Structure 1
Amino acid sequence: MTETYQVPPQLGGQRADAVVAGLCAASRTEAAGWIAEGRITWAEDRSQHHVQGGRAAGAAVKKSEKLPAGALITVDEPEPVDPAEIKVEAVQDMRLLYQDEDLVAVDKPVGVAAHPSPGWQGPTVIGGLLAAGVEIATSGAQERRGIVHRLDVGTSGVMVVAKTEGAYSVLKDAFRDRTPAKTYHALVQGLPDPHEGTIDAPIGRHPGHDWRFAVIDGGREARTHYRLLEAYGRASLMDISLETGRTHQIRVHFSALGHPCAGDLTYGADPTLAAELGLTRQWLHAVELGIDHPITGERLSIRSDYPADLSEALSILES
């Protein structure tokens, strides 16, 4: 559901997440999540004579920026999920990598969403944990209980879920402040030059495709650090760390460089190479997550091995 609001005087000058929460009767956490997903854009109201400059319509919102009274914000609010519709079912191949009384880390398989959402009928991490008897006691929307970060449906690897309210609060702040160390491995087409570096390019919704993202002017800041692990000729295995966590960030950034993730047909990968490697999704895996334990402060480093389809693709290249 998309709505456009005008920032009233009493909310003028406040942070974007506070403004959105006030206008949409949402929590600050929910509002910040919508902003992180690129659901909020804004433009200046040209009828306000005191407004200077030329804020373009559709410019992405940053949650910490302050919105002036009279600004026009557009909110693409997700449809709520009926808690009764949450599918509690075992998720094949989803292993528990770590668990204590405060948090649980899973090895998320491809084809599994982090949490239920409108239109998604497949398995979810939340449904799989509940089916496994893992209790998750946090506030917020029931369908997103314990979720402090997410992986795309088509991306496999390490994902952590909070089990208690205390852990949830600390971990949400940690991911917001970008303190966890998120390491991915990606097989990209060709050989990036230089072999090590940083991609610093803003990302926003693709102007021609609602379900895709792109490097665009006015997008949200996004930085991806990478280094070459192995060159195979037709493709290269990269070690990647994220400084920011935008939707599809790795896929968008490497596509913009002309080196899309192998198998990622959405972002320009070669379908012939994908077929040769047996890939039906992007070769992208969250291989390691480093976090400070939300209660004890102990540093945890949780790793995930490559799943069978990604390992087989590397074997084909090596042979």
Structure 2
Amino acid sequence: MINRDGQDPRFRLTFHVEEDDVLLREFLHAKGISRRTLTATKYEGGHISVNGIERNVRHLLQKGDLVAVHFPPEQPSAGLQPEEGELSILYEDEAFIIVDKPAGKSTIPSRDHPTGTVANLVAGKFAREGLPATVHVVTRLDRDTSGLLCIAKNRHIHHLLSEQMMASGFHREYKAIVEGWPEIDRFVIEQPLGRKEGSIIKRIVRPDGQYARTDVEVLRRLQRNGQSLALVKLVLQTGRTHQIRVHMQWKRHPLSGDDLYGGSTEIIGRQALHCAKLGFTNPLTGIYQLFNSDLPHDMQCMISQTS
């Protein structure tokens, strides 16, 4: 259970003990709280209580005890300026936020785009609400990719969600419009990806790269002014940088608008890529949640104006 009251804005978890003679340390580890988190809780302004009394991790628990972990307040990153602005939040609870990001907005600040990012706006929201937390981005999208993002409100939640994602527990489904018609309607791309020599941005398929897998399904074949296009669904089984964009270029079907990877900008001025579904198990409730986002206007127009 999560608790945050008006008197203590710190993030707090409570657990009921269901067996006798369990060390508090072992009990909390079984609940997914890492040794690093326990150390931070002890030395950085948090504490652990059992039945309302502060205890150390060597305390022996009994069935029926109520354990509360008061996580230390988090200091916002010095390099992340809180800002006010429009933020499309599809879902929010005490643990995380699901944001629907428009194309043209960065997820986090960079040298070229130090302000106006989703992270800046979320930091502004936290500051406005008096939430002692920093921004923990769980899933990230390229600046010109639209769709769903997950942001954790606490480092412990970030840790749990990141572990789930590494264990392939996330469903990340994208829709894209690619150039040309793939030969078959369903196929899998398993090609390792790595950085292109001499570039800090571009990725390529290379034998010594990291394993990457993308599952592809053609949803609709289109024609526009004599050009063949296809609306495809892509499910990520791994999460490498520019994975979809590089894999589709490797298949000779670059994303429309993706001039970095061989796509034409004649019809659309950004890569026609949208994160349409994001699903995972809420790490605190154990309930699987699936979030959906409709195609943005520019991609809908591409489809409606084709035959």
Query: For the residues of structure 2 that align with 1:245 and 1:134, how far apart are their CA atoms?
Result: 32
| Greater C-alpha Rg | 2
Partner residue, 2:190 = 200
Q: Percent identity at matched positions? A: 33
User: Does 1:97 find its partner at 2:64?
Assistant: no
Amino acid at match of 2:108: H
Q: Residues of 1 paired with 2:242 and 2:186: CA distance?
A: 20
Give the count of matched residue pairs. Answer: 228
Amino acid across the alignment from 2:148: V
Q: Which residue of 2 aligns with 1:14?
A: none
Cα separation, 2, equivalents of 1:215 and 1:137: 42
Q: Is the 8 A contact 2:80 2:123 kept in 1?
A: no
Unaligned runs of 5+ in 2: 1-35, 37-75
Identify if the C-alpha distance between structure 1 residues 188 and 169 changes in structure 2 by more than 3 Å, giving closer, same or farther: same
Distance 1:262 1:290 in 2: 26
Distance (whole Å) between structure 2 residues aligned to residue 90 and residue 313 of structure 1:
32
Per the alignment, do residues 126 and 210 of structure 1 end up closer, same or farther by CA in structure 2, a change over 3 Å counting? closer
**Alignment of 1:246 onto 2:235:** no
**Residue 120 of structure 1: CA displacement?**
2.6
Report the equivalent of 1:229.
219
How far is 1:168 from its partner? 1.8
**Which residue does the alignment assign to 2:199?**
209
Per the alignment, do residues 91 and 174 of structure 1 end up closer, same or farther by CA in structure 2, a change over 3 Å counting?
Answer: farther
8 Å CA contact 2:105–2:118 kept in 1: the answer is: yes
TM-score (norm 2): 0.69
Measured after TM superposition, the shift of residue 165 of structure 1 is 3.5
Letter in 2 for 1:149: T
TM-score (norm 1): 0.67
Partner AA of 1:185 in structure 2: K
Q: Is the aligned partner of 1:313 residue 2:306?
A: no
Coordinate RMSD, CA, aligned: 2.2
- Cα distance in structure 1, aligned partners of 2:131 and 2:138: 12
Asked if 1:172 is matched to 2:162, the reply is yes
Task: For 1:199 and 1:134, locate their aligned partners in 2 and report how far apart those are by CA, in whole Å.
Answer: 44
State the Cα distance separating 1:129 from its structure 2 match: 1.6
CA contact (8 A) 1:137 1:165 kept: no
8 Å Cα contact 1:185-1:237 kept in structure 2:
yes
Are 1:188 and 1:236, in contact at CA under 8 Å, matched by a contact in 2?
Answer: yes
Match of 1:146 among 136, 139, 147: 136
Q: In terms of mean alpha carbon deviation, does 156-165 or 279-288 score higher?
A: 156-165
Question: Deviation per CA, 1:221-250, whole angstroms, max 9, x where unpaired?
Answer: 010001110000310000110110000000
